Amino acid sequence: MTKIVSISEAQSQLQGLLALTRNGDEIIIEENGEPLARLVPIEKSKEQKQRIAGLGKGTMWMSEDFDDELPYEFWGFDKEL
């Protein structure tokens, strides 16, 4: 179901409007009779799984010089300043 409310109604009834969206309803907020925003429920994925830390262990590497300074040539200079 879609419900249309003014900005002032939305401000004063936010808790109730959020409860409606939890039930699957859509709320349209209008200003001076013109639609301004839409408040809709977030669709939850049925396949949303809990993340488990460490499953990717060993799949990445970092070079030993990762945090060394870059050579001046990298920045387009011919020699040190």
Domain boundaries, the chain: 2-39
DSSP, collapsed to helix, strand or coil, labels residue 31 as strand
Q: In this structure, what DSSP letter does residue 12 have?
A: H
Bridge partner list, 26: 2
Element (H, E) at 42: none
What is the rounded distance in angstroms from the CA atom of residue 46 to the CA atom of residue 39?
22
The hierarchical CATH code for the domain 2-39 is 3.40.1620
Render pLDDT for 5-59 as a digit per residue (tens, 0 to 9): 999 999 999 999 999 999 999 999 999 999 999 999 987 776 667 888 888 888 9
Locate 65 and state its tokens.
């010089």
pTM for the structure as a whole: 0.53
Give the pair of three-digit tokens for residue 57.
């262990």
